[in-house]
Homo-oligomer: A and B are copies of this chain.
Amino acid sequence: MSAFTLCAEDGNARAGNLLTSHGEVPTPAFMPVATQGSVKAVDSKDLQGIGTKIILGNAYHLYLRPGLGVISGMGGLHSFMGWDGPILTDSGGFQGFSLERLRSINEDGIRFKSHIDGSLHELTPESAILHQEGLGADIIMPLDVCVSASGTRDEVETALARTTRWAARCLQAHVCEDQALFGIVQGGLDLTLRKRAVLEITTLGFPGYAIGGLSVGESKAEMYETTGFVAGLLPQEVPRYLMGVGSPEDLVESVSRGIDMFDCVLPTRLARNGQLFIPTGRINLLSGSLKLADRPVQSDCDCYTCESFSSAYLHHLFKAKELLAYRLATIHNLRFVLRLMEEMRAAVAASVFQSYKEDFLGRWKPANEIVRREQKKKWIEAQMNNNRSDNSTN
Contacts and interface: CB of A to CB of B under 8 A. Distances in A.
Interface stretch (A33-41, A197-205, A380-388): A33-41
A308 B316 CA distance: 31
Contacts of A310: 74, 80
Contact of A37 (B40, B316, B323, B327): B316
A224 to B, nearest CB: 34
A369 interface: no
Contact of A82 (B70, B292, B309, B319): B309
Which range holds the interface residue count of chain A?
A: 35 or more
Contact of A390 (B36, B81, B321): B321
A22 to B, nearest CB: 17
Contact of A74 (B37, B41, B312): B312
A42 interface: yes
Secondary structure type dominating chain A contacts: loop
A82 B308 contact: yes
A233 B182 CA distance: 75
A291 interface: yes
A313 interface: yes
Given A66-B316, A80-B310, A312-B66, A321 B73 contact: no
Contacts of A38: 317, 320, 322-324
Interface string A301-313: 0000000111011
A377 interface: no
Interface string A38-79: 101111000000000000000000000110001001100000
Contacts of A326: 323
Given A80-B312, A82-B308, A291-B66, A36 B327 contact: no
B391 A65 contact: no
Interface of A: 36-38, 40-43, 65-66, 70, 73-74, 80-82, 291-292, 294, 308-310, 312-313, 315-317, 319-324, 326-328, 389-391
29 contacts: A36-B322, A37-B316, A37-B317, A37-B320, A38-B324, A40-B322, A40-B323, A43-B328, A65-B316, A65-B319, A65-B320, A66-B291, A66-B319, A70-B292, A70-B316, A73-B292, A73-B294, A74-B294, A74-B312, A80-B310, A80-B312, A80-B316, A81-B313, A82-B309, A321-B389, A321-B390, A321-B391, A323-B327, A323-B391
